[in-house]
Structure 1
């Protein structure tokens, strides 16, 4: 697959990629939306989201230990369901959720950059800057794995250090009174709304799948894939929780919701003034750049593999080079289109629904079809399925009440993907029967 190179990514590089995707989309793009759905309990939502994601990660770790592959989730689905319609359907849901994540990160980049300038919130500069970021990420990706790893590691160090300083600064301004910022009363939102918030926090952690999609490009994949996932989730939950507490100490829930697309920058104003905003925007730029670079890297490999499995159609469109390079073009193009068409809230909703449906499929396939081939504890996998179903149902119910069109768009898109794959595989029966 073009630039595929076994053992080309170290454990540090894999962790950098995982945290790159998670931090880029998670704390900057989603904190305000999580607070809107969960109210004063939003710091706890990030902790519970990490626990749910850890149950999900168990299946991916067991699968990666058994089948390390640069195709990652595409290969796992093939092992679970064979070359079937569902394999192609679920793999495309994952691919689309990752592309959606890229557009989420891209718009977040534009939103935070504009905090340095006196412009309106609904400016066309948000998608313009987002598209520019996608183009830059595309150029970095065609430059090779070594550049990707070096840039990912450097950016990971900068943004983790930056977020840590911002969190500690916010807590310092609040005299480190953690107890005062942790709600003692019952949640001020409905249970369904709080559960819906968990869907977005899961989206904030799903970047760990970027690591599985790198497969045996990671050194000692049987050990390091699992280690990288665990380390990445652990780093992010600490950062998310501290940042959430820090924001809660500076802004009321209404203020967070009002500035939900750039809540971290707004939270820096009371304690640090314009200099705090500048630092926050700088860290946001680093986080979003590294996040989108890592995401494009991972999804291009997964889609290249399922293309080579003949599970999805492919056309060179006159382009030279490998399938993986072609997928980079298609992925970047789709991410640009989504960045131009949708706002942050709807992008996040689409990504959460697609990802949770695919995730349930991964767990079910492991439990039903690979119980003899892969060593795992069924109780953990069953728990992951139950948690995913509860969160997905709660999220869909909440969104159906507040934004029915995004639910309809999600359902129609999934139906079209399924019908399209059924037609394609029917025309290429040999791909299924190999």
Structure 2
């Protein structure tokens, strides 16, 4: 292949990169993750959100520094490979691709559940096909669609906040941050809420398509994270003030239940539309991120080399995008993976642990290493504070990836 066959076109500016990150973070997670987190933490939900935000901040800062040095597709797969060695890069890439592929199917099924519950699987497959086609047409088209999605979702969330806080059902006494479930519950809630924060990775994985990455990426990542954090805090406070921790923990559709309890049942359909649009935004950005990491791993032959091809006209990894779309569509058609939040969080926390460890090698003094050290400890703590099933399955899948890497290396050494 010539360089033009394998290189992507740099078209995204700071605003585009921020929007892509927001499309992942201000997505279906805020509509779905608050309930499970409230069940885990009780009155400590806001503390769990704060812990998740601190860990996300450390991960974001580490990712921003590394992305400025290594502006290539693949994100932490590339950083781990360059700073820690081939195995750690591979393990980060494996954790990301497997965990986020499950997240893609979960988001697709969320779209189906809100749009047409009786035909959720069919709608999910249609959504995957449509968004894969959008991504195939070029990253700029994806960024434009994401702008529309983010605008709609932010408008819906703003209405939820206004309706809840402006209602007679709102009670500031329900915001008590006392820990009723112990530190374990708070940490588990933080791990579940981290699922919603992890979208800033999409900015780093698109590093090869960003203009002036050394300047753009370090600005875009903290901007996107900061906006998402403000939105999450406002929505969590508004919903808690109406439902309280116990009511929020029982809610299957927390935001819809909150506006209903606030005396605005006519707004429930709007929230449902907002949730469907948010899930579409998350799915669009997830497919972008997974396909770029697949591209990077295919370049190094950890995945089939054919997936490293770049379309000569659209300048996208078209084979990787089609492969990811096909796998996600198959999962969405056959398996109910809406409970994959914990599993996805485990994989992504493993991914960011490698990012922080890679960033640690960049620093020359103890003070400059505080952020990556806190990031590594935070990722490990939250990963193993997740529900037991998520930890067991996540560890098994990451372990399987490590075994596959070892077998591949052994076969290669025998062949040579």
Q: Could you tell me the TM-score, scaled by structure 1's length?
A: 0.85
More off after superposition, 334-343 vs 34-43: 334-343
Question: 2:194 maps to what in 1?
Answer: 202
- Displacement of 1:371 in angstroms is 4.4
Question: 2:11 maps to what in 1?
Answer: 8
Q: Deviations over 1:13-71 (max 9, x none)?
A: 11111011112142012111111111133234223311220011111111012222233
How many angstroms apart in 2 are the aligned matches of 1:421 and 1:210? 25
Pair 1:147 & 2:131 matched: no
How many angstroms apart in 2 are the aligned matches of 1:245 and 1:235? 16
Question: 2:284 maps to what in 1?
Answer: 293
Q: Deviations over 1:146-181 (max 9, x none)?
A: 21111111221221122112212211114875x333
Count of matched residue positions in the alignment of Structure 1 and Structure 2: 407
**Counterpart selection for 2:259 from 253, 268, 280:** 268
How many angstroms apart in 1 are the aligned matches of 2:239 and 2:184? 24
**Does the C-alpha gap of structure 1 residues 417 and 161 become closer, same or farther in structure 2, counting only changes over 3 Å?**
same
Question: 1:182 maps to what in 2?
Answer: 175
Question: 1:192 maps to what in 2?
Answer: 184
**Does the C-alpha gap of structure 1 residues 199 and 164 become closer, same or farther in structure 2, counting only changes over 3 Å?**
same
How many angstroms apart in 1 are the aligned matches of 2:17 and 2:166? 32
- Alpha-carbon contact 1:29-1:104 (below 8 Å) kept: no
Question: 1:161 maps to what in 2?
Answer: 155
- Alpha-carbon contact 1:90-1:358 (below 8 Å) kept: yes
Question: 2:411 maps to what in 1?
Answer: 427
Counterparts of residues 216-365 of structure 1 (less than 5 Å): 216-260=208-252, 262-314=253-305, 324-339=317-332, 340-345=334-339, 347-365=340-358
Structure 2, unpaired ranges of 5+:
none
Counterparts of residues 79-90 of structure 1 (less than 5 Å): 79-82=82-85, 84-90=86-92
- Displacement of 1:422 in angstroms is 1.7
Q: Secondary structure at the match of 1:344?
A: coil
**Does the C-alpha gap of structure 1 residues 267 and 111 become closer, same or farther in structure 2, counting only changes over 3 Å?**
farther
**Counterpart selection for 2:27 from 24, 28, 37:** 24
- Alpha-carbon contact 1:35-1:42 (below 8 Å) kept: yes
How many angstroms apart in 2 are the aligned matches of 1:148 and 1:35? 33
How many angstroms apart in 2 are the aligned matches of 1:267 and 1:242? 13
RMSD, aligned CA: 2.8
- Alpha-carbon contact 2:61-2:222 (below 8 Å) kept: no
**Does the C-alpha gap of structure 1 residues 323 and 144 become closer, same or farther in structure 2, counting only changes over 3 Å?**
closer
How many angstroms apart in 1 are the aligned matches of 2:381 and 2:366? 26
Structure 1, unpaired ranges of 5+:
115-122
How many angstroms apart in 1 are the aligned matches of 2:169 and 2:210? 43
Question: 1:71 maps to what in 2?
Answer: 74
- Displacement of 1:100 in angstroms is 2.2
Question: 1:129 maps to what in 2?
Answer: 123
Q: Could you tell me the TM-score, scaled by structure 2's length?
A: 0.89
- Alpha-carbon contact 1:41-1:182 (below 8 Å) kept: no
Pair 1:56 & 2:59 matched: yes
Counterparts of residues 40-55 of structure 1 (less than 5 Å): 40-55=43-58
**Counterpart selection for 2:380 from 389, 402, 407:** 389
- Alpha-carbon contact 1:66-1:222 (below 8 Å) kept: yes
- Alpha-carbon contact 1:24-1:105 (below 8 Å) kept: no
Q: Secondary structure at the match of 1:377?
A: helix
- Alpha-carbon contact 2:103-2:341 (below 8 Å) kept: yes
- Displacement of 1:212 in angstroms is 0.3
- Displacement of 1:7 in angstroms is 2.8
How many angstroms apart in 1 are the aligned matches of 2:23 and 2:168? 28
How many angstroms apart in 1 are the aligned matches of 2:104 and 2:30? 15
Question: 1:408 maps to what in 2?
Answer: 392
Question: 1:120 maps to what in 2?
Answer: none
Pair 1:379 & 2:382 matched: no
**Counterpart selection for 1:213 from 194, 205, 216:** 205
**Does the C-alpha gap of structure 1 residues 43 and 127 become closer, same or farther in structure 2, counting only changes over 3 Å?**
farther
**Counterpart selection for 1:101 from 76, 92, 103:** 103
- Alpha-carbon contact 1:213-1:298 (below 8 Å) kept: yes
**Does the C-alpha gap of structure 1 residues 174 and 56 become closer, same or farther in structure 2, counting only changes over 3 Å?**
farther
